[in-house]
Amino acid sequence: MAIVLVIVIVVAVAACAFLVRARGEVQAKLDQSEARAREAATRLVAVTAERDELAGSTEWLTATNTRLQADADRQRERADDLKARLAAATAAGGDGLWQLLLAHLTRRWAAMVGVPPEGRTVVDGTGGAQLAEALSREVERLREEVGVDVDLEAAGDGPRLGDDPADRVPVLLAAVELLGVLAASCQQVTVELGESLVLVGEGRLDPGDELAAARDRVAAAGVSVGPVVVDDEDDERVEIALHPMAVRSAD
């Protein structure tokens, strides 16, 4: 009987030990699961906060982009309006400057060659025709004032330099400057007016190279001017050309 009792006690102790060990293992697993659950909950909170922040940022960026786009559209419309106004003002002011320059050259020519007021009108027609008339008068004035042989050859039909309003004032001012230098340094000057304006001087004596300096002034003013070309066989012959403003000649 005692032996049976001992056996029962041993079995009971072993069962208790097994249950305690099993309970410990289950508790450890439960603790791990709870820790993982807490970690997942923390991650969920962080992800949710990040999502909410990104959603707010997206809304802000969308609103900002819409506002910037609207502002860009307004600025573009304003720029287009200013561009149109500038073009209109330039066209009006350019014609006024052109007429002022023509009147100045006409008065200077008339005073030199003795033309009465009624003969000082400017020809009606294209800008090219008016440029040709102004150059003709400047050539005649130089012929009388300086005594140099100056001739003008103007193309008849077809497009001609000066037809574009943008070319008129700068080309005529540049031509007057270059003509003055050539007339003072050459025995003979020829002016050829076509789609470009070519000035040719022969019998040149220009020790100070005033033509090159005048050419640089013309280029610095933004006029499309070619280089000073000296004849290889005759260094007393020189040529320089003025082109439409749309053409950018190399220095």
pTM for this model (two decimals):
0.62
Q: Are residues 90 and 199 in the same domain?
A: no
Q: What is the pLDDT of residue 50?
A: 82
Instruction: Say if residue 12's pLDDT is above 70.
Output: no
191: left (phi over 0), alpha (psi -120 to 50) or beta: beta
Q: What is the pLDDT of residue 112?
A: 92
Q: In sequence order, what DSSP letters do the residues of 127-155 get, joined into one string?
A: HHHHHHHHHHHHHHHHHHHT--EEEEEE-
Structural domain including 37 reads: 1-95
Q: Are residues 140 and 81 in the same domain?
A: no
Query: Does residue 249 fall inside a structural domain?
Result: no
CB 137 within 8 A of CB 103: no
Q: Are residues 156 and 209 in the same domain?
A: yes
> Model confidence at 76, in pLDDT bands (50, 70, 90)?
confident
Mean pLDDT of 108-116: 92
Q: What is the pLDDT of residue 234?
A: 83
Q: Are residues 24 and 74 in the same domain?
A: yes
Query: Does residue 133 fall inside a structural domain?
Result: yes
DSSP annotation of 117: G
Q: Are residues 142 and 222 in the same domain?
A: yes
Q: Are residues 222 and 142 in the same domain?
A: yes
Q: Are residues 143 and 194 in the same domain?
A: yes
Q: What is the pLDDT of residue 140?
A: 95
Query: Does residue 80 fall inside a structural domain?
Result: yes
Q: Are residues 85 and 170 in the same domain?
A: no
Query: Does residue 11 fall inside a structural domain?
Result: yes
Mean pLDDT of the chain, nearest integer = 82
Strands 229-230 and 197-202 turn out to be unpaired
Sign (positive or negative) of CA dihedral 55, 61, 67, 72: negative
> Model confidence at 246, in pLDDT bands (50, 70, 90)?
confident
